[in-house]
Amino acid sequence: MGVDWNSFFEGFMTALSFQNLLFIFLGGLLGTIVGMLPGLGPATAVAVLIPITFGMDSTSALILLGAIYYGAMYGGSRSSILLNTPGDGSAIAATFDGYPMTRKGQAGQALTLATLASLIGGTVAIAGFVFLANPLASFALQFGPAEYFFLLIFTLSAVVSLSKGNMIKGFVSMLLGLIVTTIGVDSQSGVYRFTFGNPHLSEGIDFLVVIIGVYAVGEVLYNILVIKDENQQMKEDVGNSWITKEQWSRSFWPMIRQAPIGFLVGILPGAGGSIASMISYTTEQQVSKKGEEFGKGAPEGLASPESSNNAASVGAFIPLLTMGIPGSGTTAVILGALIMLGLQPGPMLFQNQPEVAWTFINSLFIGNIVLVIINILLIGLLVRILKTPPQILYPIILVLAFIGTYTLGYSIIDFFILMIFGVIGLLMKILNIPVAPLILAVIIGNMMEQNFRMAFVSHDGFLQMLTASPISILFAVLTVASVFLPALFSRLSKGRTES
Amino acid sequence: MKKYFKVFPILMLSVVLVLSACGNSSGEANYPDENVELIAPATPGGGWDATARALQNVLDEEGFVEQNINVENQPGGGGEVGWQYLSDQNSHSLSVNSSLILTNNLLGQSDLTYEDFTPIATLATEWISTAVPSDSDIEDGIDMLDRLKEDPKSLTIAVGPALGNNDHLSFVRVADEYGVDVSELEFMIYESGGDVLTALMGGHADVATMSISESLEQHQSGDIEILATTADEPIEGAEDIPTWQELGVDFTFPHWRGIMGPPDMTEEEVAYWDETFSQMVETEAWQTVLENNGWQDYYMNSEESREFLEEQNQMYEDLVETAGLTD
Amino acid sequence: MSIRYIIPSVTLLISVIYLILTFNLPESNVGNPTAAMNYPLLIGFALLGMSIIYLFSEFKNRKEPFKAFEVFKDKQLTTHVIVVLLLSLAYTFLFERIGFLFSTLLFLTGLLFLINGRRKWLTNIIVAVLFSVLSWYAFSELLSVSLP
């Protein structure tokens, strides 16, 4: 499309109009709030708020939906950091170091850092969008089933390799997750697997129910077990929200370099924020000199996935706006809403209605800044959650977990699944079994199987699938490296200290 | 105590109040004398949900129904959960339906069938397109069928999101009519229509079958090429695309959507909806809905819908057997 | 048998049950008849293998103390967890019967009395009533999520 600067600036001015600024603010605020609730991630946030846009003009509606989506992305990490209960798949990586920071009394700083990381990730990605949308869209098209399969298996192996010295437990956790994803109708053959005749199970188990169960319910049960003194508070000191120089300088480069990675992953239809943030977290841990601090409250361990998943959320708009292809659940919902409003995103959008497209892109940029303001202002309010006595907070989280689960499938069968995974989450926490491989496996397991089988059929074999394209080979090599290199390195360094 | 309540984020949702207004009108003694529940057997954001909410909007705004109309989401099992629910409601509940009401039963996934409900109306249809990548060496629809007749495994066919859906079955139908051995066809099932389109544009599938609304724009921009459609006459705005009938394969295949009610509705109740829907489909608001969604008007009243369902059921029964989807 | 073997034994059991279920899957009528079975078989056997390795690694570490289950030592708190689960179960059964508002109210009141203690009954009741009503209002009225 080339950058049409006239339309670009026109769009910038339209996005800055009072009415649209109001929508950005309102959407961002609503999205942040809904995104914080367990189970209500960006897709649900947009879906349940769609009725608000009926009767609005299409540009404003698009801006409002974009702002809600964005707000939910910001909001998702809030509950990860404060309560160790991610609202959505892409907010899981924020629990790894965000929650330890809270435990260390740095809740305010963690929230500020995550907000700034999101801003940087988002801004880098928007710049990428403006200049590179079209070439990147055709890059995404290179990904067929074989390429997806190797990308997905690389992500899984990278996350399993995080469980250092504990690889067996990591693999067990991953395999249990993969088992969960085989429940439901198998799309390639139409065979019903492990559904026991229940129609609700035929669509499989929603990964969000698993996330809420393992994290929110598991966390609540664990805390009930360890509540000691009736008057003890979870953390008296929530710290201030000004980040230190050291935190900033440790996080700065990770934020900058993880943004393009997240952006690229986000462009791939179907990949999205969960995979982007996991890849960023693991790569950052590998390259960091302070890798051993990851998982114990390292600021860069929070900043890099947050930067990356926000960049991914911008990237997801590229296939939607340039090709009319929704690349994620959320963009699919937005596409549905836009069609109802009479706007058809797709190859013709930039030709027929460039002002709409550019207004939207600019509103994403402005939205980022507005959201930083909203979120910094909200920090004071949010850290109060930690001052609520845990004896009152945990029952409320538990009830919210149930409500959130209900909104996902409108079925009480999910309540049983929620409880089962709550108990599993509790046991995993007690036994020190890593949770991330299970969760990631549940998110991408089915996609991995289906892509593998499609690739196998269309390439007539595994070797042909591997050598089908350089992308496949690259990810296959990375997969092998991610499993064996950490072991090799630790062996080498051990050898050195011993000799 | 009060400070704890500040933390409830939902409190702040009250800002939405400013934006959402709900109309309330007093009830009448006649049917419907309570709020009407419109069941979307799917999650918010999907196609059925869109249909239900569009209907709610048009019926409400144009003042056809005095009572409130509420959309109720009952997702699960490809409509099964919602329709199971509808079957024990009173006549103030209606549900959106499509050919899944027939195929769920035929594929052995449900005990319910169209005969367990009261047909109210058939409202709209989409037509289904068969497309290839823009640089494909397949010349036209007949060329594609010839290749498949020669070797059914020579082309990979992308379809989403499930076997046994209309996109899949319509392709089986055309191939079968032409004499292709359909049990040997290689279908790749993608998670969504969007994924099918990506796979086609990236050249990862040789052929794809999907709704015209999903493929038309990419056809017009030259990213893909539609070979043919299952429509009964050329699509408005895309008259260059032939229908299968024009290519000499004699069949049409609608992807229709309609409305049905619980069993045992009285004649008066059905007559009420016949009158309401026959007027609604004439409104400008409904025409806009059709246009925005890429649907065509396919209105049939309750009686015509009943006959239509019977006829469709027969057609699908033969088709799922041909496709090898039954035991 | 030491309690350290419980979890690997459970995963071993899961893998065996899963494999049995997999072998009983129906054959596919479309394409390759065993297509739907291969991948579950692969994960099933992988989990079986991993569980055996897991068992061995626990056996190797049998000299080291196994402390994980000590959190259950406090009888009173363990009972709390069990009661929470029972309350959740009751909530599940009541949710669609008596509706969102009342079941949530009962559930939350129960949880608060259990965890926050009986002495703070006033706080408990105020929190439970306000939260139930507000969440019902927010989801059902503002977000138009259909609740029973």
Write the pLDDT tens digit of every residue in C6-47.
Answer: 889 999 999 999 999 999 888 877 667 788 888 999 999 999
Whether residues B134 and B283 fall in one domain: no
Q: Are A120 and A442 in contact (CB under 8 A)?
A: no
Q: Is B107–A202 a contact, with Cβ atoms under 8 angstroms apart? A: no
Q: Give chain A positions within 8 Å (CB) of B221.
A: 346-348
Whether residues B187 and B280 fall in one domain: no
Which amino acid is residue C147, in one-letter code? L
Strand bridging mode B36-40 / B69-73: parallel
Whether residues C58 and C90 fall in one domain: no
Q: Is B170 within the bounds of a domain?
A: yes
Residue A195, pLDDT > 80, answer yes
Q: Is A399–C80 a contact, with Cβ atoms under 8 angstroms apart? A: no
A395 touches chain C (CB under 8 A): yes
Q: Is B312 within the bounds of a domain?
A: yes
- Residue A178 banded pLDDT, cuts 50, 70, 90: very high
Q: How far is CA A243 from CA A104, A114, A299, B121, C55, in A?
A: 14, 11, 10, 62, 45
pLDDT of res. B208 = 95
Residue B14, pLDDT > 70, answer no
Here the tokens at position B137 are 């060496």
Residue of C126, C131, C138 with shortest CB distance to B13: C138
Residue A8, pLDDT > 80, answer no
Give B302 to chain A, closest Cα distance, Å: 27
Last residue of a domain, one of C70, C103, C124: C70
Give A212 to chain B, closest Cα distance, Å: 18
The answer to which of A339-348, B287-296, C28-37 has the lowest mean pLDDT is A339-348
Here the tokens at position A216 are 């929110």
Whether residues C105 and C127 fall in one domain: yes
DSSP 8-state class, residue A69 = H
| Neighbors of chain A with 3 or more C-beta pairs under 8 Å | B, C
pLDDT of res. B117 = 95
Whether residues C51 and C107 fall in one domain: no
Q: How many helices (H) and strands (E) does chain C have?
A: 5, 0
Whether residues C21 and C64 fall in one domain: yes
pLDDT of res. A181 = 93
Last residue of a domain, one of B247, B282, B304: B247
Q: Is B71–C127 a contact, with Cβ atoms under 8 angstroms apart? A: no
Q: Give chain B positions within 8 Å (CB) of C134.
A: 8, 10-11
Whether residues B130 and B104 fall in one domain: no
The answer to which of A76-80, A368-372, B1-5, B67-71 has the lowest mean pLDDT is B1-5
Instruction: Quick: pLDDT tens for B37-58.
Output: 999 888 766 678 888 888 988 8
**Average per-residue pLDDT in chain A?**
83
Q: Give chain C positions within 8 Å (CB) of B16.
A: 142-143
Q: Give chain B positions within 8 Å (CB) of A33.
A: 9-10, 12-13
pLDDT of res. B265 = 92
Give C33 to chain B, closest Cα distance, Å: 12
Q: Give chain A positions within 8 Å (CB) of B203.
A: 141, 144
Give C138 to chain B, closest Cα distance, Å: 6
Last residue of a domain, one of B218, B247, B276: B247
Q: Is C120 within the bounds of a domain?
A: yes
> Domain range for residue C118?
74-142
Q: Is B7–A410 a contact, with Cβ atoms under 8 angstroms apart? A: no
Q: Is C147 within the bounds of a domain?
A: no
How much is the average pLDDT of A424-451?
Answer: 89
Q: Is B76–A200 a contact, with Cβ atoms under 8 angstroms apart? A: yes
Q: How many CB pairs under 8 A join A and B?
A: 175
Q: Give the Cα separation of A211 and A197 in Å (integer).
A: 25
pLDDT of res. B325 = 80
Residue A453, pLDDT > 70, answer yes
Best CA proximity match to A347, nearest among B222, B27, B36: B222
Residue A322, pLDDT > 50, answer yes
Q: Are B169 and B130 in contact (CB under 8 A)?
A: no
Task: Using CA coordinates, name the residue in chain C closest to B17.
Answer: C142
Whether residues B144 and B77 fall in one domain: no
Last residue of a domain, one of C41, C70, C99: C70
Q: Give the Cα separation of B174 and B193 in Å (integer).
A: 20
Q: Is B70–C146 a contact, with Cβ atoms under 8 angstroms apart? A: yes
Residue B191, pLDDT > 90, answer no
pLDDT of res. A158 = 84
Could you say which residues from 46 to 75 on chain C have a Cβ atom under 8 Å away from some Cβ of chain B? Answer: none
The answer to which of A322-336, A373-387, A406-420 has the lowest mean pLDDT is A322-336
Q: Is C104 within the bounds of a domain?
A: yes
Instruction: Quick: pLDDT tens for C85-114.
Output: 999 999 999 998 888 899 999 999 999 998
How much is the average pLDDT of A192-205?
Answer: 83
What percent of chain B has a predicted confidence (pLDDT) above 90? Answer: 48
Q: Give chain C positions within 8 Å (CB) of A430.
A: 68-69, 71
A194 touches chain C (CB under 8 A): yes
Task: Using CA coordinates, name the residue in chain A closest to C69.
Answer: A430
Whether residues B146 and B50 fall in one domain: no
Q: How far is CA A404 from CA A219, A396, B73, in A?
A: 16, 12, 15
Domain count, chain B: 2
Secondary structure of A141-161 in the HEC alphabet? HCCCHHHHHHHHHHHHHHHHC
| Neighbors of chain B with 3 or more C-beta pairs under 8 Å | A, C
Which amino acid is residue C9, in one-letter code? S
Residue A115, pLDDT > 70, answer yes
Give C19 to chain B, closest Cα distance, Å: 24
> Domain range for residue B69?
34-124+255-322
Whether residues C17 and C66 fall in one domain: yes
pLDDT of res. B1 = 36
Whether residues C9 and C22 fall in one domain: yes
What percent of chain B has a predicted confidence (pLDDT) above 70? Answer: 90
Could you say which residues from 151 to 210 on chain A have a Cβ atom under 8 Å away from some Cβ of chain B? Answer: 185, 187-190, 192, 199-200, 202-203
Range with top average pLDDT, A54-58, A407-411, B300-304 = B300-304
Whether residues C46 and C99 fall in one domain: no
Whether residues B260 and B240 fall in one domain: no
Could you say which residues from 16 to 55 on chain B have a Cβ atom under 8 Å away from some Cβ of chain A? Answer: 16, 19-20, 43-47, 50, 53-54
- Residue A489 banded pLDDT, cuts 50, 70, 90: low
Q: Is B5 within the bounds of a domain?
A: no
Q: Give chain B positions within 8 Å (CB) of A29.
A: 12, 15
Whether residues C103 and C50 fall in one domain: no
Range with top average pLDDT, A254-258, A318-322, A323-327, A388-392 = A254-258
Could you say which residues from 467 to 486 on chain A have a Cβ atom under 8 Å away from some Cβ of chain C? Answer: none
**DSSP output for B153-177:** TSSEEEE-S-TTSHHHHHHHHHHHH
**Average per-residue pLDDT in chain B?**
84
Residue A496, pLDDT > 80, answer no
Domain count, chain C: 2
pLDDT of res. C106 = 93
Q: Give chain A positions within 8 Å (CB) of C54.
A: 168-169, 172
Residue of A340, A348, A447 with shortest CB distance to B220: A348
Instruction: Quick: pLDDT tens for A364-382.
Output: 888 889 999 988 888 888 8
B322 touches chain C (CB under 8 A): no
- Residue A499 banded pLDDT, cuts 50, 70, 90: very low
Give C1 to chain A, closest Cα distance, Å: 18
> What sections of B179-247 are H helices per DSSP?
193-201, 212-220, 244-247
Residue C122, pLDDT > 80, answer yes
Strand bridging mode B156-159 / A184-185: unpaired
pLDDT of res. A233 = 45
**B243 pairs with which residues across the strands?**
B229
For A379, residues 6+ apart whose C-beta sits below 8 A from its C-beta are: A108, A111, A112, A241
- Residue B313 banded pLDDT, cuts 50, 70, 90: very high
Residue in A340, A397, A447, A452 to test binding to B, most B beta-carbons within 10 Å: A340
CATH number of domain containing B280: 3.40.190.150
Instruction: Quick: pLDDT tens for A118-139.
Output: 999 999 999 998 888 778 877 8
Give B246 to chain C, closest Cα distance, Å: 30
Whether residues B116 and B133 fall in one domain: no
The residue with greater pLDDT, A21 or A165, is A21
Does this complex have an ipTM over 0.90? yes
Residue of B73, B186, B327 with shortest CB distance to C146: B73
Whether residues B116 and B261 fall in one domain: yes
Residue of C30, C130, C131 with shortest CB distance to B163: C30
- Give the Cβ contact number of residue A488 at 10 Å: 11
Whether residues C84 and C126 fall in one domain: yes
Range with top average pLDDT, A290-299, B54-63, B91-100 = B91-100
Domain ranges of chain A: 5-490
Q: Give the Cα separation of B138 and B215 in Å (integer).
A: 18
- Residue B300 banded pLDDT, cuts 50, 70, 90: very high
How much is the average pLDDT of B269-277?
Answer: 93
Q: Give chain C positions within 8 Å (CB) of B17.
A: 142
**DSSP output for B229-281:** E--SSPBTTBTTSPBHHHHT-----EEEEEEEE-SS--HHHHHHHHHHHHHHT
Whether residues B131 and B240 fall in one domain: yes
How much is the average pLDDT of B51-70?
Answer: 85
Last residue of a domain, one of C50, C70, C90: C70
How much is the average pLDDT of C66-78?
Answer: 78
pLDDT of res. C148 = 74
Residue in C144, C145, C147 to test binding to B, most B beta-carbons within 10 Å: C144
Residues in chain A: 499
The answer to which of A125-129, A412-416, B142-146, C67-71 has the lowest mean pLDDT is C67-71
Q: Give chain B positions within 8 Å (CB) of A28.
A: none
Q: Is B22 within the bounds of a domain?
A: no
Q: Is B26 within the bounds of a domain?
A: no
Q: Is C30–B325 a contact, with Cβ atoms under 8 angstroms apart? A: yes
Whether residues C22 and C66 fall in one domain: yes
Whether residues C12 and C57 fall in one domain: yes
- Give the Cβ contact number of residue A168 at 10 Å: 19
C103 touches chain A (CB under 8 A): no
Best CA proximity match to A465, nearest among A448, A450, A453: A453
Here the tokens at position A462 are 């595994």
Q: Is B27 within the bounds of a domain?
A: no
* pTM score, whole prediction: 0.83
How much is the average pLDDT of B228-242?
Answer: 89
Give A29 to chain C, closest Cα distance, Å: 15
B164 touches chain A (CB under 8 A): yes
pLDDT of res. B60 = 83
The residue with greater pLDDT, A39 or A155, is A155
CA A126 to chain centre: 18
